[in-house]
Amino acid sequence: MLLLSRKAIVTPLIICTCILGVGLIQFPQLQKLISSKKSASIETLEKEIKAENLRLNFLQKMPTFGYDNLIADLVYLDFSQYFGDDEVRDKTGYSLSPEYFEVILERDPRFLAAYQSLSVSTSLYAAMPERAIAISEKGLKSLSPWVPERSYYVWRYKGVDELLFLGNAKAAQHSFAIAANWASKFSDPESQMIANTSQRTAEFLNRNPNSKYAQISTWGMVLSNQVDEKTSKRAIRAIEALGGKVIRTPEGTNKIIFPPKD
């Protein structure tokens, strides 16, 4: 009995240590890439990215012995460093973004915050909206209106990608309509606001698939998501190109002025 008890304790510790080793020690290419970014050549950076891609492929396939959420959290931290390194990303682009989220959302499809990062990094920066939508659709199979709370946001992010980056108004209308339906099941002010804005966007698209109002409203959603400065500027440029204006209020929020005609 004592031997079995020790084994029951030691085995999970060994497994956990192995997983941590993979996440933090094995293939530390990303850390090297970050520390050497000022002097590294494009060729060196590309080799580092290929090595990081191999590590992500391995993490996607390896058994986790029940530590899926731990793997998702560790890989999300890696992604944050990758995405936030503007100097290197300006040289190499954002092509690894969807690879990170293949791992993260495969391991933890209820990782709500990851879906927003998926949309911004993969659709907006990596120019791969199809990948972002496909990953979201797979994750949505594990979600419901109540689990996790505010999972209606995932449908909104998907609708944003479909409308702004694929120009698929019909698919976007469907996504915003479901977001409105899921959000309407909650009585808190945030959920009710999301239900109303999502429903209005769906109605705009139903009346006019090429609606500038719907596109401006959707870029406004991007702008309101506490995004980084680069994303904020991109959203403002897009709104202005559609005939709208963005005004900074004394309270520090953005107010969108829509054009006179849709």
Give residue-wise pLDDT tens across range 28-58.
Answer: 555 554 555 556 788 888 999 999 999 999 9
pLDDT (0 to 100) of residue 161:
96
pTM (predicted TM-score): 0.81
Are the beta carbons of 172 and 205 closer than 8 angstroms? yes
Single-letter amino acid, residue 145 = P
| Alpha-carbon span 81 to 59, nearest angstrom | 17
Highest-pLDDT range among 38-47, 186-195, 207-216, 244-253? 186-195
pLDDT 10s digits, 204-242? 999 999 999 999 999 998 888 767 888 889 899 999 999
According to the model, what pLDDT value does residue 30 have? 52
**Is the pLDDT score of 118 beyond 50?**
yes
**Phi then psi for 244, rounded to 5 degrees?**
-95, 175
Cα gap 109→4, rounded to integer Å: 34
Task: Return the bridge partners of 232, or none.
Answer: none
Least confident of 32-46, 85-99, 118-132: 32-46
